Amino acid sequence: MTDGDERTAADRSVFRIAARMRSFRYAARGLRAVFQSQPNAWIHAAAAMAVILAGAVVGLSRLEWCLIVGAITAVWVAESLNTAFEALCDVASPAVHPLVERAKDIAAGAVLITAVGAAITGAIIFGPRLVHLR
C-alpha cells in the first residue's frame, strides 16, 4: 500500500459525491463501448424506441408499462453482460479456443433467450390491440 492508499475500509465506504460521479462516467463509458462494439445494440435500441412509441400511442396501462420496461431492461442487461463477457474471454484467451468459443456462444444464446422473451411480452401486450385495429 502506498502512502496515498492508507485509508481504512470505513474511509473508502463513505459516500462521496465525486466518487459517485466517477462511477456514472464509468457506466456511461461502458454503455458507449456496447454501442460501439455491438451492432445488435443498435437493433435493440431501435426496437426499444419503437415499442415505447407504440406504447405511448396505444396508451398502455401502468402494469403494461412495467412489463415493457422490464423486458427492455432485461435485453439491455443481457447484451451488456454478454459484451463484457466476450471482452474478458478475449483477454483470457486471445487465440481461438473451443471452450472460449462455446462460452461466448452460450452468452450470446442468453441474449437471444432474453430478446425472444421480450418479443413474446410485446406480442402479449400489443397483440390484442393490433387485432382490434382491423
Percent of the chain with pLDDT over 90: 78
Q: What is the pTM of this model?
A: 0.81
CATH code (residue 58): 1.10.287.3610
CA atoms lying within 13 Å on the CB side of residue 90: 6
The answer to the question of residue 124 being in a domain is yes
Cite the active site residues.
79
pLDDT of res. 12: 64
Cβ atoms 102, 73 nearer than 8 A: no
Mean pLDDT of 86-100: 93
Cα–Cα distance for residue pair 58/122, rounded to 1 Å: 13
The answer to the question of residue 62 being in a domain is yes
- Which range of residues forms the domain containing residue 71? 39-132
Residue 1 has pLDDT above 50, yes or no: no
Count of structural domains, the chain? 1
